[in-house]
Structures are given as structure tokens and as C-alpha cells.
Amino acid sequence: MVRLLSFVFVVLGFFTTVYGQAQSSAPKRPKLVVGVVVDQMRWDYLAYYGYAFGEGGFRRLLSEGFSCDNNSLNYLPTVTACGHTCLYTGSVPAITGIAGNNFYKDGVKVYCADDSTVQTVGSTTKAGRMSPRNLRVTTMCDAVKIAQNFASKTIGVSLKDRGAILPAGHTADAAYWFDNESGVFVTSTYYMEELPKWVSDFNAANRKDKDIRYTPEGNELVADMAIAALRGEKLGQGSTTDFLAVSFSSTDYIGHRYGTRAKETEEAYRRLDGEVAKLLAALDMAVGKGNYLLFLSADHAAAHNAALMQEHGVPAGEWMETEALQGMNDYLRKRYSTTVPFVKDFMEYRVYLDHEAIVAGGHAVAEVAASLSEYISRDDRVAYAVPYVLVPTSNIPQAIRERITNGYNPKRSGDIQVVLQPGYYGFEPDSYHEGTTHGAWCPYDSHTPLIFYGWNVASGRTSRETHITDVAATVCSLLGVQSPNGCIGTPIDLH
């Protein structure tokens, strides 16, 4: 009997030891991950506007965090929907399915977050008929939640619907965005049937005019909403790692209207620095300094205004997209003796041909695409115009060819990629021509800041090449979870 009891105690001791070791070796994670995206922030703004920053915002992140100074977007087009998606998925448009802010899906033009199967929650407008269903892969928010058996919370906040929805992913508890018509934050029935009380209370106290988008107060509103979410949802207060995805959009609206060197843009970043400081202070108070992991980056950057560059002798200019579209169809009408427009759309430097009309006219789509590309290339403002199917064999620099390939989704990207000369960009007649835009491969559109801060991050910086697709891989590696299912990024060595 004594021997039997001794054996039992030995076995129990063995399993207790093994279980204890397993528990102690389980990955330790922060209480909260916070993603901060600054829409249209150039990397050089950290230095250019740095003199206006205080100690608690960008300077705190740079002095105490780890800065990747050579971070870039490795795909085309460099626009908001792609930027937010690729940063959070670690993937590229070729895989994510988010080929642009707008694209064609099953032959129909759609907005990146459109979803006619859901309804608005929080107002009576159509602003909430949105969801992540057009996104074909998971985000790091999804990955963190899956790793914890869906027990954690994920909240996305932005003025722009796509800035809240696409980062938060498919499994988010909520994404909230600003309804310009009603002046409050809304969501959709994809997430819930009615707003939580804390959101209703926030809206009641913070109803705003739609023009707040074009002022620094737009970023203030987002910071306040993010802090309200932090407190209202008790993020970082449980036994799991929660996720708060925040996107500041007013910098993009202001940049488009006023440009990269305007006093309005300077004021926007000076004020944003204060909002970043306010958010960090709220995180310190609610979660505890060192208990949260934060990263800050941008979805894209921006070109200097073409007229400003021309004044100083730099080659630059605009390319009217509507005029270009008309010119394409005029050329094809003459070339193929047709009255039917063969080009159905041109957006974000992508040409969409009407395959049915071309075939019905007795022509081959490939031949029409090749002919049109040759015509577009005659414009001196155009560097390359290439049918997507010919990109692998075209005489294009590898860096640009790789970006085109990464951005090409066969079912959603159209037929031809147009690449303008550096310094030139596409504009619409009703755009703010004293302002700026983005979308190109060039460093002014693709070189973005990337800073990691907080939990398990030592201060430092690197000039090693990193990409926007590496962010999700790095966060997941730090947390010891599997990367999102379409991730092609590589974890960054933060040393």
C-alpha cells in the first residue's frame, strides 16, 4: 500500500511539474495592443514638423520606442484602403482583395467596405452599410483574437469607415466611424444591433459638423472616441490581450486640400502631437506604462504640390484623370472603328476595359490592351503603361515591377497599370489643386514612419529596409501568435 501511494504521489508530482512548466512557458503578452495610423503622414514629417512637438507625443515615441526609418509601401496603388489593409494583414492587394479605395468586383464597381446586406447602427443614414466582407484575408486583430479562442476584445475607431473597418478585421467586436451627415459615430449590424451606452453618451456630448474632417479638431474627436472606447470597453483590464485600432484621418483631408507645406498642415501635426500625448497618458492611466504594445505608422504619404515644385525648377505636373479617360476612348473609337467605349473606368492609375464590348466587336482583349498601353505611353508625363499580364516580361525596373505585381489582383484590378513620371500625379477637376494627392510608387508617396513602443520594446532605431507588410508579422511574433493568413511580411528585429 505504501509503495502504491508513493507511486501515485510520484506520478502526480510529475504531471504537476510538467503542467507548471507548460504554464510558465506560455507566452506572456501585453494587456493591450494599440495600432495608430496617421493618414497621409510622410516619414520626414517627424523631422520637418518636429520643432513644434512637445515631449509627450511623437518625441516620447521616438525617444523611448524603436523607429524604423526606412519603412515603405511595397505595392501599388498607395491609397488609404490598401494602406490600412496591408499594414494590418501583412499582405498585399494581390492577396487581400482590397485593390484600391474602389475597384470592380464580379463586374460591378464597389467601394472597399460596401456591404448592402447590413444596416446603419447609430443614425438613419446609409453611412453604416459597411463591413469587412470584401477583405479576403485576416488581420493581426483577427490573429490575436483567434490565438485567444476569441475571448479578447477588438475595437476600431476612425473618421473614415475604411480606416476603422479594415484594420479591425472580421472578428472585431466593433468598428466605429464618423457619419458626416448625422455628425456622430456609427457602426453597422455586421457588429451589433444597437450602440453601447458609452457610444450613445459620447455622441450626445460630441455631435459635430461634417467639416470637422478638414480641421485638427477631427483628430481630437478621434482621440477622444478612442479613449472613450478604452474606458467604455475596459480594454486591457481582463485576462486576455485586447486590441484598439485607431486611425487619424484629418491629416489626409487637410493634406489634400492644403498640401504638404501649408500652415494648415503644420498646425494639424502640431495639434496631432498633443492628441498622441493625450492618448498615451490615457493608456498609462488605464492599462499601465509598459503593459501595452503600441505601433504608429501611416497608410501612405503624399507628393509635394506640383505647382510648388515647378516654381523651384523641379519636374512636376498634373494629369487630369477624366481627360485621360476620354482620350483613351477617343483613341480606341478611331483605332477600332467603334462607337462603343472600350474603357469603362480609369481610377487610381488602373485601366478597366469592357471585355464584353471588345469581344462583341470582334476584337481580342489582349490586343486592345496592348494597343491602348502603347497610346498611353506616348504621353510624356507617363513613365510606363503596361497590361498587367505583360508586367513580368516588361522592361520595367525591378522595384516598380514588384510593386505592380504585389498590387495586381486578377479579379479586381482591371487590365492596365499606368505609372506616371516622378513628380506627376493624377487629379480630378474638382480637386484642390493647391493641395496634394498620392498613389504612386515614389518615395514621397510610399516612405512612411514606423515606430514600435511599450511592452518588450527597447529604445532604438534602424535604417534597415522594412515594409508596411512587416508590421503585422512583427506584432504577431512579439505576442507569440500565428501571423494573419495572407501575411507575406517578415518580423522586424527591434534591436
3-state secondary structure the chain: CHHHHHHHHHHHHHHHHHHHHHHHHCCCCCCEEEEEEECCCCCCHHHHCHHHCCCCCHHHHHHHCEEEEEEECCCCCCCHHHHHHHHHHCCCHHHHCCCCCEEEECCEEEECCECCCCCEECCCCCCCCECCCCCCCCCHHHHHHHHCCCCCCEEEEECCHHHHHHHHCCCCCEEEEEECCCCEEEEECCCCCCCCHHHHHHHHHCCCCHHHHHCHHHHHHHHHHHHHHHHHCCCCCCCCCEEEEEEECHHHHHHHHHCCCCHHHHHHHHHHHHHHHHHHHHHHHHCCCCCEEEEEECCCCCCCCHHHHHHCCCCCEEEEHHHHHHHHHHHHHHHHCCCCCCEEEEECCEEEECHHHHHHCCCCHHHHHHHHHHHHHCCCCEEEEEEHHHHHHCCCCHHHHHHHHHHCCCCCCCCEEEEECCCEEEECCCCCCCCCCCCCCCHHHHECCEEEEECCCCCEEEEEEEECCHHHHHHHHHHCCCCCCCCCCCCCCCC
CA–CA–CA angle 54, 159, 57 (5° rounding): 15
Among the options 17, 78, 80, 240, which is catalytic? 80
**Measured between alpha carbons, how far is 76 from 367 in angstroms, rounded to an integer?**
24
Characterise 185 by phi-psi region: left (phi > 0), alpha (psi -120 to 50), beta (else): beta
Cell of 8: 501515485
Asked about 80 being catalytic, the answer comes back as yes
Q: Which residues contact 397 (CB under 8 A, 6 or more apart)?
A: none
**Measured between alpha carbons, how far is 69 from 43 in angstroms, rounded to an integer?**
8
**Side-chain half-sphere exposure of 160, counting CA atoms within 13 A:** 26
**Side-chain half-sphere exposure of 435, counting CA atoms within 13 A:** 21
Q: Annotated catalytic sites, by residue? A: 80
